[in-house]
Structure 1
């Protein structure tokens, strides 16, 4: 069973990394780095899939905001509480907002749409988004890669076979749980500030 899963990861894993990085993506980027360390992925291919997913996702949301401002999906996003915070930050610091938006857990979707609804020229958005995506892919992919180093030092050669799938699952769960609690903490802090 684990050999089948391993084969699926080798064959389709980079596609999954790309798709995962289109949206929030931290978990996919960290797993890409981990599997690159384990020689399941070629490191430069893992980095490229992570970068392209991050860059493509934000560009897609920017274009969605720019082109479909009156669409029901965009109106639903605008109505969410996080959107007003993203819009205020964008209005006051547009370049900084574009660069750091992807690093704020839970804000990528709002941020891309908010940038698309603004007056920011598409070329400037693409340039800043590209730099931010390159750094983001290196940071989160690097976290996974160095976690793989630590896991290998801790577990030795047993990680080379079946245990790496369990470790990857543990990494994914840990990142999701951390992201969930971080997002809740940020929302509670904003609610207290607004009260």
Structure 2
């Protein structure tokens, strides 16, 4: 079974990295870097998949705010914790906000919509988003690559396919749990701030 799963990762792994980075993404980029170190992916291809996933995801949220501001789903998303704070930040510091939004965990969706509503031009947003996505993809694929070095030292050079997969899944599970806890904490703080 693990051989079959590993085969799927080898065949479709970069698509999974791209899709994971379109969503929230850090764990997908880290796993891309990990598998690049294990020679399942080529390093620059893992970076490129993470970059395009990050760029497409943020652009999608921007377009929602820019073109569909009155759609009921977008109106509902604008009620999420942190939206008002994100909107104030993007209005006062648009360049800095677009460059840094994806690094503030849990703010990517509302930050993208706030950017779309703020009046930033599409070209300006795309240029800033490309810079931010390129740096973000390099950072998190590098973290995954370093995890690969550590795993190799810990387990030994003779990592076989199923060990690689299990280590990668373990890394992904730890990152997902940490991300959930951070997001839960940030959302709670934002709710308290908006209530006061």
Please tell me the TM-score bracket, short chain as reference: over 0.9
The CA deviation at 1:192 is 4.7
Could you say which residue in structure 1 is the equivalent of 2:7?
7
Count of residues in correspondence between the two structures? 195
Q: 1:42 to 1:2 in 2, by over 3 A?
A: same
Q: Distance in 2 between matches of 1:82 and 1:190?
A: 5
**TM-score in terms of structure 1 length:** 0.95
Could you say which residue in structure 1 is the equivalent of 2:116?
116
Could you say which residue in structure 2 is the equivalent of 1:90?
90
The CA deviation at 1:187 is 2.8
1:48-98 CA-partner distances (Å, limit 9, x unpaired):
000000011111111121111111111111111221121111112111110
RMSD after superposition: 1.3
Q: Would you say the 8 A contact 1:23–1:109 is kept in 2? A: no
Could you say which residue in structure 1 is the equivalent of 2:67?
67
Structure 1: give runs of 5+ residues left out of the alignment: none
Tell me, yes or no, if structure 1 residue 40 matches structure 2 residue 36: no
**TM-score in terms of structure 2 length:** 0.95
Q: Equivalences for 1:1-195 in 2 at 5 Å?
A: 1-194=1-194, 195=196
Q: Distance in 1 between matches of 2:130 and 2:160?
A: 34
Structure 2: give runs of 5+ residues left out of the alignment: none
